[in-house]
Structure formats: C-alpha cells, structure tokens
Amino acid sequence: MSLLDPAINACITTLESIRPLAPQLDAAADLVRTALLNGGKLLACGNGGSASDSAHFTTEFVCRFMGDRRPYPAICFASEGSAVSAIGNDYAFDEVFARQVRAFGRPGDVLVVFTTSGNSRNIARALEEAQHLGVKTVAFLGRDGGFTRGLADVELRVEGTVTARIQEAHKLLLHVLCETVESALARV
C-alpha cells in the first residue's frame, strides 16, 4: 500500500490550515524588506531539517529567488559548523545561535528562526539575544509553539503533530515570503 495518497491528503489539510497566517506573513515580509532596503541583513537558524530550511531561506537572498537582482546579506548560523561545534563545546549547545546573534546582529537586522516543536532551547536563546540587541525577529513555529511561542516579533505557527507536514508548510510560507520581498527588491 502506497503512503503517497495519505501524505498528499495530510499535506493539503496542513496547507489549507495556514491560510489565516496571511497577515503575519505580510508583517514578516515587511520586516525583511525594510531590513534589506535599509542596509540590514538577515540572520537565520534552526536545528535538523529546520537548519536546512534556514539555509534554504538565506540562500534565496544571497543568490536569488525567481528573478535576477543584486545579492543581499543573509547568514545561516546552522551552516557555520566550526562555530556551532566550538560554541557547543566551549559554552553550551543552548548558546550556539545566541552567541552568533551577539557576534553578527545589529539593530536593523532580522533574525528568522525555524522550529517545528517550538521547544529548542538554542532557538529561544537566539530570540532572547536578538531582542536584547534590538534585532527584529520572525519565528516559523509548529505544533502549539512550545516555550518559544511569544518570543518573536512575528510568528508563523503551523498547527499539527507531524513534523514533515509542518516543514512542508514552513517551506511554502518561506517561499511566499521570499517572493513577496523579492518583488520589492527587484525594483531597487
């Protein structure tokens, strides 16, 4: 028996559930657009599959999403293997992203985090450090948002219990966010 049909149906149900996030998605796009047009940069992080999503997100701005345009500064902290392992070893794994926020984050920047559970201490610490520095924040969350809920300026929370379906919805949201922002960047 193929799992494809049930997976497609579950994906459709999850994607339908994110329609009410349009206002939050617009708010996230405004933060990112404002940062990039005013000389700020994007910072992003996540763990596991969410680390891949954060790398995908930053790549869309350093390279391009759909149209040709100039590159914009975007850093994925999860891709910095040497920094992650050194900070985890010398301090604690809870600090692997917060310390990088402290190193690179400035007012006018935006930190975008991805966590399907909302219960990643290193993500919560990154959001706290960003708030302390005056860096705006966007959180792609899953399930009930966990203890990370309420820590970001803008939250895009995908309800559900299956990590794969949450990540699929996060991917659609990040693509729409990129498309929305890139349409403004293309005019510059």
CB under 8 Å, gap of 24 or more: what pairs does 160-166 form? 160/14, 160/17, 162/10, 162/14, 163/49, 163/116, 163/117, 164/7, 165/10, 165/11, 165/14, 166/14, 166/116, 166/142
- Which pLDDT tens digit goes with each residue over 20-71? 999 999 999 999 999 999 999 999 999 999 999 999 999 999 999 998 899 9
Over 80: is that where the pLDDT of 184 sits? yes
Q: What is the mean pLDDT of residues 174-182?
A: 96
Is pTM beyond 0.75? Reply is yes
Select the more confidently predicted residue: 188 or 73. 73
Mean pLDDT of the chain: 96
Res 1: pLDDT: 75
Q: How would DSSP label each residue in 46-113?
A: ESTHHHHHHHHHHHHHHS-SSS------EEEGGG-HHHHHHHHHHT-GGGTTHHHHHHH--TT-EEEE
